[in-house]
């Protein structure tokens, strides 16, 4: 026999998803602002002309903004429904940030080879730092997610 999920359980996934989208958006912004713009180490797509590289950064920025806005709306919806639990939102944030970073480091950099972290240097230290940091962020998200499943939701205040 299966039990019907509570209202809090029903909406926990939406809160976690909102956090995931915020984590992806923030990590994409950090990557783009620091590594693409300030340090100018690479563009989102380096396989063509510099102009195409700039356009690809603009598309990354567009996706980042969509993720941020969608994440904010999901979290605000959770707040409106009085099911927003900070631990669930934070777990999603770290899962999204770490997942983005590991995906970027392994898939974008190594499998698809659309760009490297840097060019003309030994890549191993950069790759290790980037991917280990992503795994640590993701692991924090997993721990918080598991902890959020064990704790009872706080009683919502009737405002």
Q: Is residue 25 part of a domain?
A: yes
Q: Is residue 155 part of a domain?
A: no
pLDDT of residue 68: 98
Structural domains counted in the chain: 1
Per residue in 121-131, pLDDT (tens digit) is 999 999 999 99
Q: Residues of the chain whose pLDDT is less than 70?
A: 1-10, 151-159
Q: Is residue 65 part of a domain?
A: yes
User: Which domain range does residue 83 map to?
Assistant: 11-150
pLDDT of residue 115: 86
Q: Is residue 5 part of a domain?
A: no
Q: Is residue 128 part of a domain?
A: yes
Q: Is residue 4 part of a domain?
A: no
Per residue in 130-158, pLDDT (tens digit) is 999 999 999 999 999 999 988 655 544 44
Q: Is residue 36 part of a domain?
A: yes
Q: Is residue 87 part of a domain?
A: yes
Three-state secondary structure along the chain?
CCCCCCHHHHHHHHHHHHHHHHHHHHHHHHHHHHHHHHCCCCCCCCCCCHHHHHHHHHHHHHHHHHHHHHHHHHHHHHHHCCCCCHHHHHHHHHHHHHHHHHHHHHHHHHHCCCCCCCCCCCCHHHHHHHHHHHHHHHHHHHHHHHHHHHCCCCCCCCC
Backbone φ, ψ for residue 53 (5° rounding) = -60, -45
């Amino acid at each position: 026999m299966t039990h019907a999920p509570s209202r809090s359980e029903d909406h926990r996934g939406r809160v976690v998803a909102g956090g995931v989208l915020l984590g992806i958006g923030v990590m994409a912004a950090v990557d783009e602002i620091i590594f693409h713009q300030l340090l100018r180490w690479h563009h989102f797509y380096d396989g063509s002309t510099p102009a195409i590289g700039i356009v690809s950064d603009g598309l990354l920025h567009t996706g980042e903004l969509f993720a941020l806005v969608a994440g904010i709306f999901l979290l605000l919806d959770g707040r409106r429904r009085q099911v927003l639990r900070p631990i669930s939102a934070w777990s999603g944030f770290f899962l999204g940030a770490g997942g983005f970073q590991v995906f970027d480091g392994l898939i974008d950099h190594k499998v698809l080879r659309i760009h490297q972290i840097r060019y003309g240097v030994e890549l191993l230290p950069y790759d290790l730092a980037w991917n280990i940091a992503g795994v640590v962020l993701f692991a924090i998200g997993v721990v918080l997610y598991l902890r959020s499943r064990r704790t009872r939701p706080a009683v919502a205040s009737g405002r």
